[in-house]
Each structure stands twice: as C-alpha cells, then as structure tokens.
Structure 1
Amino acid sequence: MAFSEEHEEQHALFDEQPFKKRKKRHKGSKSQKKKRSQVKASIADILPIRDMTDDGAFQLQGDSGYMDMMQLQSKDIYSPSMDETEYDIMVMAKFFQSYASNIKIVSMNFPVDMQRQLDAVDRKIKRNTSPLYERFLLKKRNELAFLEQHRTNREFYLYMYASSIKQLSEYRNNCQRYLGQISPLLPLTEEKKLDLLYKLYNQNSKLEKRG
C-alpha cells in the first residue's frame, strides 16, 4: 500500500497539465516586456563634456557647471624623514577637510617621452666619424627607442569642479596655495588636457603624441 501511494505521487509530480498552464502564462508575459532604451546617436551625447572655454576649462553638459584639471608633481615617499611624511599627511588632511567642492585625483599611465634624448643621439651620430663610437651610439639609440615604445610613466592629475568660471578660478588658486606646500600643481596645455580625456575614455589605447 505504501508503494502504491508513492507511485501516485510520482504521477502527480510529472503531470503535464500544470506545466502547460505555466508555459502559456510565460508566453503571455513576453508581450508585456518593456521596449529597449534608445541608443545614443553619437559619443557627444554620452560624454559629460560640452565644450572647452577660452581659458582652457571644460563646460559640462546641462547645468553641471565647469571642470578643469592640473598635474600633481609626484615626489619620493620613501627617502623623506618621518617628520616630513607626517607633515605631508597633515597638510593633505587639512586640505580635504577645508575643500568643500567636488574634487578627485586620477592616476594614469602615459608613454615615456624620449624625443629630446633621441634627437641628441641623432645629432651625435651625424657628427661622428669613429666606427667604434657609432656602434655605441646606435646601441644607445635602440635603448631609448625601446623605452619610448614599451615603458610608461605614472602621472597624477587633480580634477576640479565648479558651478561657474569665476568659482573654478578661485578653486584653482586655493588648490595651488594649499597643495603647493607638499606637491606643486603644474598647469596643462589644452592639447595635454584633450590627451587626458581621450586616454580616460579609451584606456586601452596608446597616444601617438603628448601635449
């Protein structure tokens, strides 16, 4: 008797009728799916940047305000004494406590610029008359070309945001005043800023030239 009860339960488990009803309800739910969102027409609709101002800042889309960037000059963090390190930490902490607007620090890898060294070696090769010295110069040039092709520098940039151009200028001066005590802020050319944006949104790409 116990065997027959289990047999009846097995029939109930494999009953096709509930499965057909569920399948029918599932088909009906497909028609209720939402339509896909429309794809943006161009990359300009995706990027938050609208235009570049006359002083080299960037106007953001909509009412998001303005943005500018400067390079943080990196420093050796291992050789300074403990007092110098604690002072740098204190200045950075005070800066972040007093700076109320949006800000971020971005680190990016850029190709090593060896063009000046390559030009100097090329001039020596042209003036050289010794075959032995020429072998040394050619070897040196190959080393420099390898570094430029396969090595990168880690650089750090400060991104500042403001609601107006005037406010952005004030924020820029404040950052230079406070951070300049431990890490000087270097201005960037317009070409370098465009390189930064291109690299930021195309991180797997390699820049052909630098600003």
Structure 2
Amino acid sequence: MKYMVTSMRKPWIIPNNTALWPNTRRLKSGYWLPNPRNLSFAEAASLPVAIGTAYEGLQQCEFTAGQSILVLGGAGGVGSMVIQLAKHVFGASRVVATASTGKLELLRNLGADLAVDYTKENFEDLPEKFDVVYDCVGQCERAVKAMKEGGKVVIVIGAVTVPAFVFIVTSNGADLEKLNPYLESGKVKAVIDLNSIYPFSQTLEGLAYVDTGRVAGKVVIYPIQQDN
C-alpha cells in the first residue's frame, strides 16, 4: 500500500544558512496516511503542505458557499489548491485568480471563473470586490484594496496589513482524509510543474528552479526510484 506524509518539518538547518536534505527519515505513524488510489507517489508527495495550507486558510477565514474569492498567485503550489478547494469543496460563487500570461489557461482548468494576467492588469483595479482575498505572493497592502467591506485577506507570505491575518498551519491526517474523496474523484488534482520531478541527485537543480519564481504548481524531489 502506498502512503503519503501528512506533515513534514523543514529541512535541517545548520550555521551559514546551509540546509541538509536527508534521503531517508523516520517518522511517527501519525504522520502517514494511505495514498488516494489514483495518485502516484510524486503526486501524493506534492499535496500535504500545499493543500493543508490552502484548506486551513479557507477554514480560518470562515469561507462559505456562495462567497467570492480572489487568489493572488493562483498558479503556485498553494494558490492552485485554493482555487480548486474554493470552487469544488467550499462552493465559491466566483473564483478569480492571478498569474502571468503563460499560466492563465492553467487557472481556468483548475476552476477559476476569471484569470487575470498580473503583467497587464492590476487586480486591485478590477470592478468587482471580493469576500476573501487569498494572498500567496506577499501583496497584502494591495490585497486589502480588492476585498469587499467586511471582507477578509489571508496571507501566506510577506508582511501583514490589518485587517489581513496570518496563521500557523496545523494540517493533519484528518483534513487529508476529509479531502480524499475529492482527490480520488479527480475534482481536486495535484498540480506538478511540467517536467519538474527531480531525482535526489538533482536536488540542487530542483531548488534552483523553484528560486526562479516560474514554477507552476509544485516541484517534487524523490529520494528513491519511482514505481508509480
């Protein structure tokens, strides 16, 4: 049986900002959950942190069916999950998301009703305002201008401007079990950047690609040979 990790700590950090990435790790049984039947190891590995962050942020802001949401950075790991969860799990009335020109079609395929090209248009100038703005790119000061009166802004990265809020992700197996039917039915999909599954020997190349800021979805590094 395949298993997916429900929670993982950051890589070990030693002086001079050097990180250690072990190729094996011992974890308590509570950190594991059976894979959704239709997911590969790589797809499963890409999900827990991203989908956990997306899900908990929507819960923390008390997002409910019928509300509208603007997702900043909709093509990223967390943003791609927010779009899908808001649309297919929480029942959003309208999902708008931002990305660069080449990633707009991905946003539409994930469920966005409107894909905004941030290289050509300022999202805060849109004629509509939103119940929730989910900021995955660190644009809080601009994000608050796009919300409705009484709305909320969820911040994943960057400084926080009131009334936005920040939260600590406490994702666990219970959340993933709750979302499992959506994953197995295909309503919510893992989003992995095209050709971005790296063997452990190419970890540095994978991290360098992440640093380019051009990633769509997640980059996966696997320590053992994949067997899908």
TM > 0.5 fold call: no
Q: TM-score by structure 1 length?
A: 0.23
The answer to which structure has the higher strand fraction is: 2
Q: TM-score by structure 2 length?
A: 0.21
Bigger radius of gyration: 1
